[in-house]
Every structure is written in C-alpha cells, then in structure tokens.
Structure 1
Amino acid sequence: MAPALRSADLRGTWGTLLLPLRADDTINWGQAAHALDVLVAAGLDGIYVHGTAGEFHTLSEDEYDRINELVADKCRCHRLPFQIGAGHMSAQICLGRVHRARAVAPSAVQVTLPDWLPLSRTEVIRFLVGIASAADPVPLVLYNPPHAKTQVAADSYAAIRREVPSLIGIKVAGGDAAWYAAMREHAGDLAIFVPGHGLATGLLHGAAGSYSNMAALNPAGAVAWQRVMVEDPGRGLDVERRIQRFLAEHVDPLARQGFGNPALDKFLAHLGNWAEIGTRVRWPYDSIDESLAERLRPIVRTCLPELFPDG
C-alpha cells in the first residue's frame, strides 16, 4: 500500500501517463507500460493519472480500472507515490470512480467538480464532503483548471479546509503576486500545485510543486530543472523565461488554432521523444501532425538544453 500523503509531503514535480492510441482509438497497452517505465525511472516525485492530459473524459470504466491497476502495480514495485484521478463531469460517476480508486490504495485521489452546471459554494463543499467520505482514509486533491465551469475563489478555501480536512492540495493555474498572497491567507497549509512551465516563479511565491507539462516534454528534464530551481533560483527563472518564450512561439499558436490541452501535451511528448506516445487524441478531438513536433526537436534542444540532460 502506498503511504497516504499529507499536505506537508505533497511536493515537487509529478508526471502523468499519456494514452498511446492506435488508429482505431484503442489504447496501446504495451506502449503505455513502456511510457510508465520511463516515468518511474526519471526521478519524479510521483506519478498521477486521469488528468486532462490523460484524457480521463474519454475513458470507459474498464479502461479507467485497467490504468489504475497498471500504475498501482508499477509504483508500488518502485515505492513511488502515485495519485489516481477520479474526476468526471457527473458527480455520480465520479463517486463510483473514487470507490474504485481507493481500492488500489493510492497516495491521494484527485477530483474535479461536477461540470455540466456550475456549483454554489455550498454545493462545492457538499460535493467534497461526500467525496472525502467515499475516499477515506485516502486524502484528496482538488483539480480546478481554468476551463472548469465552477472556479473556486481563494476566499472559499478556509471554509473548505474546515469541512474537508482530508483535502491536502489543489491543482490550479496559479496567478500573479496578489493571487499568491490571497492563497497564502485563505488556503493555509494546502499544497498548491501550478503548471510546470511556471514552477520556478511558483516556488518563489510558495507553491509546492507541479503536475507538470514539462514532464510531458521530458520527465528527466523536468526533474533536472527542478534541481536547478532549488540550487540556483535565478538560473531556474532564466530557464522558465526561455520555456515560456518557446511555448509562446511554437505551442500557443496551436492552442489558438483550437487544439485542446491533451493534444498540446501529446505534442510536447512527441517533441521530447522520450516514449512512443504519438500525437493522436481520441475522437472527436483534433490531433496535431507528428511531423511538426519532429521538425522542432533540434530547436527545443538548442533553446532548452537544461530540459534534455541526456544531451
């Protein structure tokens, strides 16, 4: 059984399993297992599954359970913390996923808020109390991305912490200095996780870590960059500036064309070329042409050598 995390323990750079898909949209389980081997060997602080990048919204319940077993077996073997996402647009399906996620004894369970209709503050707390009861004794992490219909304001977290003591962390987009100040005031000891490409700034403002898109680009590189942030914060910020410049020039235009976050994360993984993931995302969403990532490989290595420690 993986040791349950506490908020003080929830730190660092975590990577996720992306879905290698065949032409018929079925999962290539052999390639998934190999990608997981690479993630486990990279030195990450933990592995998580079933976030947006993992296309949780497209999974059948059988696929969901099979991924849970694959990740749990591999991480237990290597004594690596792991989190299982149980989010779903339906609160009822989410609840069922929480029960089944708890059965593989993860270090924490991640959930999203129900997403067809926005929730009031009272409904947010009611939902999280029910989920916490179903997950007990496994702690919770709330995943509240910018595109969620219900955005949890900073001043809501004091009440949430009182009513849901098993909530140990949140996965959010981050913000400016004022946002971090508000979170320090209201979120207390919750571990705040921000996007990977802003982690150097986030750490300086009190963030605990990242469920990292930079680990999608190169898991070993994301670990190496985190080491730089700790040893030389100024150099860490310099790497962050170059990452954001690269994203602005080569990835943001794809987002503006309408490609979704799973397509962008798979594009980064194909760009990093650390596993056979491919760029295909599930129907009906658009996938990015693999050849674009392949053309950019020498450019990203020149711009961001720190993220490719293998040279």
Structure 2
Amino acid sequence: MAPALTSADLRGTWGTLLLSLHPDDTIDWGRTTHALDVLVAAGLDGVYVHGTAGEFHTLSEDEYDQINELVADRCAGHRIPFQIGASHMSAQTCLARVRRARAVAPSAVQVTLPDWLPLSRTEVIRFLVRIASAADPVPLVLYNPPHAKTLVAADSYAAVRREVPSLIGIKVGGGDAAWYAAMREYAGDLAIFVPGHGLATGLRHGAAGSYSNVAALSPAGAVAWQRMMVEDPEGGLDVERRIQSFLADHVDPLARQGFGNPALDKFLAHLGNWAEIGTRVRWPYDSIDESLAERLRPTVRACLPELFPAE
C-alpha cells in the first residue's frame, strides 16, 4: 500500500505521468511505463496521474483503470506516495472513478468540480461530501485550476473544511501576498499546492508544494531546485525568475497560439529529453512540433543549468 497522507505531510514537488501516444492516438504503454519509471527514480515527493496534463478528459474507462493499476504497482512497490485523479466533467462519472481509484489504495484522490455548469457554494460542498464518502478512507485533494468554471473563493474554504474533513489539500493557481493571507485565514491547515514555476515564492508565503510543470521539464532538476530553496533561498528565487523568463519567452507564445496545457507540458518534457514521451496529444487538440523543442534544448540548458544536474 502507498504511504498514507495527511494535510501535514502532503508536501513538496510532485511529478505527473504524461501519456506517450502512437500516431493513431492509442497509448504507447512501453514508453509510458518507461516515463513512469524515470519519475519513480527521480527523488520526487510523489507521483500523480489524471490531471490536465495527463489528458484525463480523453481517457476511456478501461484506459483509466489500466493506468491506475500501473501507477499503483510501480509506486507502491517503491514506497512512493501517489495520487490518483478521478476528475471528470460529469459528477456521476467522477463518482464512479473515485470508487475505482480507492480500490488501488492511493495516498490521496484528486477531483475537480463538475464542469458543464457552474456550482453554487452549497453545491460545491454537496459534491465534495459525497465524493469524500465514496473515497473513504482515502483522503481528498481538490484540483481547482484558474480555468475551472467554478472557482472556490478563499472565504469558502472554512465551510468546506468543516463539512469535508477528509479534504487535505488544494491544487490552485496561486496569487499575490493578499491572496496568500486570505488563504491562511480561511484554508487553515489545508496543504496549498501552487504551479511549479512559482514554488520558491509560494513556499515563502506558506504554500506546501507543487504538482509541478518544472518536473515535466526535468524531474531530477525539479528535485534539485527544491533542495536549493531550502539550502539557498535567494538562489532558489533566482532560478524561479529565470524559469519564468524562459517560459515567458518560449512557452507563453505557444499558449497564446492556442496550444493547451497537455501540449505545453509534453513540449516541456520533450525539451527536457528525460524520456521518450513525444509531443503528440489526443484528437481533437493540436500538438506542438517536436522539432521546436529540440532546437530549444541548448537554450534551456544554458538558461537553467541547475535543472539539468546530471549533464
């Protein structure tokens, strides 16, 4: 079984499994398994699956179950915490996924809120109460990214915590100092996870960790950078500034062209060249040309040598 998680020990840098795809959009299980093995060996605080970058919204239920079994086998065998995303646009499908995710004994289950119609505060709590009951005894993490149709306001978390005590953490977009202050007031002991490229600043304001896009670029590098944040905080902030500058120059323009988060994270992984994942995302979404990442490999290594410690 995976190590149990509480809000106190849900911490650090977590990496996600990205799907390697054949030209016909079927999963290349060999390359996907190899990518998982690299994540498991990288020293990350944990591994998670079925977030946005994992293309959970494209999976058949059979594929969903097969990935769960694969991750549970690899991570539990190495005593590495792992989280299973059970998110879906439909609350009913999400509920069914939660029940099946619970069966592989993950460290936590991640869910998003239903996404066709926005939810009221009462509906958010009603949804999470039933999801928590289905997941029991596995704790919950709420994934509430900036593009969610229902964004949970900071002052809602006091009621959520009261009604859903098994909620141990939240995955959110972060904010400024005032946002962190509000979250400290209302979110209490919930573990707050912020985007990887803002982790050094987030830790200073009380964030617990990141489900990390930096780990998509370099799993081992994300671990090394997190260590630097503790041993050399100013150096960690300098790396963060350079990460954000690189993203602004080379990744944000791709987002403005319309490429989605799965395409961007696979682009980062191909740029980092730590596994043969490729940049293909599932129909109908656009994929980024692999050659662009290959041309930029010398640039990212010159800009961010700290993220490529073995080179």
TM-score, reference length from structure 2 = 1.00
Please tell me the residue identity of whatever aligns with 2:303.
Answer: C
Give, as a single letter, the amino acid of the residue that structure 2 aligns with 1:91.
A
Do 2:197 and 2:212's aligned partners in 1 also have CA atoms closer than 8 Å?
A: yes
- Per-residue deviation, 1:225: 0.2
Secondary structure in structure 1 of the residue aligned to 2:47: strand
* 1:35 alignment partner AA: A
Question: 2:101: which partner in 1?
Answer: 101
Amino acid of the residue matched to residue 108 of structure 2? A
Structural mapping, 1:124-143, within 5 Å: 124-143=124-143
Give the Cα separation in 2 of the matches to 1:207 and 1:246.
23
**1:263 corresponds to:** 263
**CA-CA distance at 1:113 after TM superposition:** 0.1
Q: Is 2:3–2:80's contact at 8 Å kept on the other side of the alignment?
A: no
Match of 1:248 in 2: 248
Task: Give yes or no for contact 2:3–2:79 (8 Å, CA) kept in 1.
Answer: no
What SS class does the counterpart of residue 26 from structure 2 fall into?
A: coil
Paired residue secondary structure (2:159): helix
Write out the 4+ residue segments of structure 1 that deviate beyond 2 Å after TM superposition. Answer: none
Q: Residue 80 of structure 1 corresponds to which residue in structure 2?
A: 80
Tell me which residue corresponds to 2:66: 66
Question: How far is 1:59 from its partner?
Answer: 0.2
By how many angstroms is 1:3 displaced?
2.5
Give the CA deviation at 1:2: 1.3
Q: Which runs of 5+ in 1 are unaligned?
A: none
Q: Distance in 1 between matches of 2:230 and 2:57?
A: 35
Aligned length: 311
CA RMSD, 1 decimal = 0.4
In the aligned structure 2, how far is the partner of 1:30 from the partner of 1:305? Answer: 30
Q: Distance in 1 between matches of 2:295 and 2:226?
A: 27
One-letter amino acid of the structure 2 residue matched with residue 281 of structure 1: V
Which position in structure 1 is the counterpart of 2:148? Answer: 148
What residue in structure 2 maps to residue 284 of structure 1?
Answer: 284
Where does residue 208 of structure 1 map in the other structure? 208
* TM alignment of 1:10-29, pairs within 5 A: 10-29=10-29
Matches within 5 A, 1:84-233: 84-233=84-233
Q: Distance in 2 between matches of 1:294 and 1:148?
A: 32
Q: 1:3, 1:35 → 2: CA distance?
A: 22
Q: Are the aligned partners of 2:200 and 2:229 in contact in 1 as well (CA < 8 Å)?
A: yes
In structure 2, how many angstroms separate the alpha carbons of the residues matched to 1:240 and 1:147? 23
Residue deviations 1:51-108 (CA, integer Å, cap 9, x gap) = 0000000000000000000000000110000000000000000000000000000000
Q: CA deviation at 1:171?
A: 0.1
TM-score, normalised via structure 1 length:
1.00
Q: Does residue 293 in structure 1 map to residue 300 in structure 2?
A: no
CA distance in 2, matches of 1:262, 1:149: 18
The one-letter code matched in structure 1 to 2:37 is D
Q: Does the 8 Å contact 2:220/2:307 carry over to 1?
A: yes
**What is the SS of the residue equivalent to 1:138?**
coil
Would the aligned equivalents of 2:14 and 2:47 in 1 still touch at CA under 8 Å?
A: yes
* Per-residue Cα deviation, 1:143-192 (whole angstroms, up to 9, x for no partner): 00011000000000000000000000000000000000000000000000
- Aligned mates of 1:310, 1:251 — CA distance in 2: 24
Rounded Cα–Cα distance in structure 1 between residues aligned with 2:209 and 2:230: 12
Q: What amino acid sits opposite 2:217 in the alignment? A: L
Gaps of 5+ in 2: none
Q: How far apart are the structure 2 equivalents of 1:262 and 1:289?
A: 13
Q: Report Cα offsets for 1:205-246 as digits up to 9, x if no partner.
A: 000000000000010000000000011110000000000000
C-alpha displacement at 1:4, in angstroms? 2.0
Mapping of residues 29-40 of structure 1, within 5 Å: 29-40=29-40
Partners of 1:252 and 1:197 lie apart in 2 by 13
